[in-house]
Amino acid sequence: MQNSSGIKDKVVVITGASSGIGEATALLIAERGAKVVLGARSPDRLEALAARITASGGEAAYAPTDVKRREDVYNLVGLAIERYGKLDVLVNNAGVAPISLLDELRLDDWEEMIDVNLKGVLYGIAAALPVFRRQSFGHLVNVISTAGLQIIPTMAVYAGTKNAVRTITETLRQEAGDKLRVTSISPGFVHTNLANSMTDPHVKAQIVDRMEKMAIPPAAIARAIAFAIEQPAEVDVNEIVIRPTAQT
């Protein structure tokens, strides 16, 4: 049932699929023959993306998904099984970044990052892992961030959530055994809507300015994700860090 390599006919669930890295990944792998199952909070954008994929001859299903709600994530994985009979890959991509200095005590923003960036990934693992075990194959791809590799002011909680995911991802890799693959993708500055989640206007303006000066397109990250997915079953690409050439 499982392809030994390549992307064609693999069933891939993507969270945060309605824009940015998630959208670019869905378009790329659908073009290469994957069956994509798309989750995000915006049903209109999901519907438009799925229509774009099917109009180009691809296969796509979608469900409105808030990764803060574990039942939404379970339902998204369930949709993949119901529609296509298996799950080859789960891409945990949904993320928010309302960054700020700790002194500002933006507790609601802290909780949002923990709920989406950390708990949302855990819900994805919880939904997919039993399926992967039953099938004796599967691939978990977590989109993390270079923010956790180079710690700077305003990033405390954001980088904290990303490094928690990095730790969980590496532990899962060690626990996964010889049938499951686990990959972490750490993007640097990418042209996405991530700044829209930032509530501090000064910080948001700084980030948008840096994005405009150096950010790379989401398709660059999509290609890295596709590279990990298309490897033969016995090859596990554990970690990819991908930054703009201009990013220090």
pTM score, whole prediction: 0.94
- Show me where the domains of the chain are located: 11-200+216-242
By the 8 A CB rule, do 79 and 99 touch? no
Burial of 102 (C-beta count, 10 Å sphere; 0-12/13-18/19+)? exposed
What class has domain 11-200+216-242?
alpha beta
In whole angstroms, give the CA distance from residue 139 to residue 179. 9
In whole angstroms, give the CA distance from residue 240 to residue 228. 9
pLDDT for residue 3: 43
pLDDT for residue 2: 47
123 in catalytic set: no
pLDDT for residue 5: 61
Local mean pLDDT, 10-residue blocks, the chain (248 residues):
72 98 98 98 97 98 98 98 98 96 97 98 98 98 96 96 98 97 96 82 86 92 98 97 94
